[in-house]
Amino acid sequence: MRKRLSAELIGTFWLVLGGCGSAVLAAGFPDVGIGLLGVSLAFGLTVLTMAYAVGGISGGHFNPAVSLGLAIAGRFEMKHLPAYWAAQVAGAVLAALVLYVIVSGKGDFAGVGGFASNGYGAASPGGFSLTAALVTEVVMTAIFLIIILGATARGAAAGFAPLAIGLGLTLIHLVSIPVTNTSVNPARSTGVALFADGPALAQLWLFWLAPLAGAAIGAMIWQALLADD
């Protein structure tokens, strides 16, 4: 279990540092910024690389919603959820702390701003409402779980699951960054919210509720309609 929790902490650390770091440091860099496309790809690459690196140790969840969905689908023991969630949140917070130290070292530093946090209303990149944010996060997380469960099913091509999951997460970001800045991962949302300026902490409840609900829905859809009995 120590190795499994270490793998989840490190994997989630990389997801937040690589994904949110690309948004904070590189997305809007003058003339050569990577933009929405680059940030979306960065999030997908973090999951892809860590799924290959440590997925064989812990299952490569890196996300409390994924752990819950896998447990509901019978792929993970419910009794391990608290420990996995703790490791994932710890990894996310540690990554956000490292990113804060980097950002605050800039010569003209005057605060971190939104810090790649998730939000709705005035905190949404596109000004989308609470309802729009809720629907987006629930649906995107549900689809993400279906992708994960399908890519790791017994009949799936061996060795390709990280590619499908990483590209799936990339596509999710391409769709939903304008709405919520894309969470689908409560740990990712929690880490940066602790350091962000603005309403990120006050709105964090949604980015636990919606991804967890979406993961449960996705797992139940898989079990009811798609699972190989």
Return the SS3 of 15. Answer: helix
Q: How high is the pLDDT of residue 206?
A: 98
* pLDDT tens, the chain, 229 aa long: 999 999 999 999 999 999 999 999 999 898 889 999 999 999 999 999 999 999 999 999 999 999 999 999 999 999 999 999 999 999 999 999 999 999 999 988 989 999 999 999 999 999 999 999 999 999 999 999 999 999 999 888 889 999 999 999 999 999 999 999 999 999 999 999 999 999 999 999 999 999 999 999 999 999 999 888 5
Reading the block at residue 12, the tokens are 């989630």
Q: How high is the pLDDT of residue 229?
A: 57
Domain limits at 196? Answer: 1-226
- Domains of the chain: total: 1
Residue pair 185/19 in contact (Cβ under 8 Å)? The answer is no
Q: How high is the pLDDT of residue 158?
A: 85
Q: How high is the pLDDT of residue 90?
A: 98
pLDDT, mean over the chain: 96
CATH code for the domain in which residue 213 is found: 1.20.1080.10
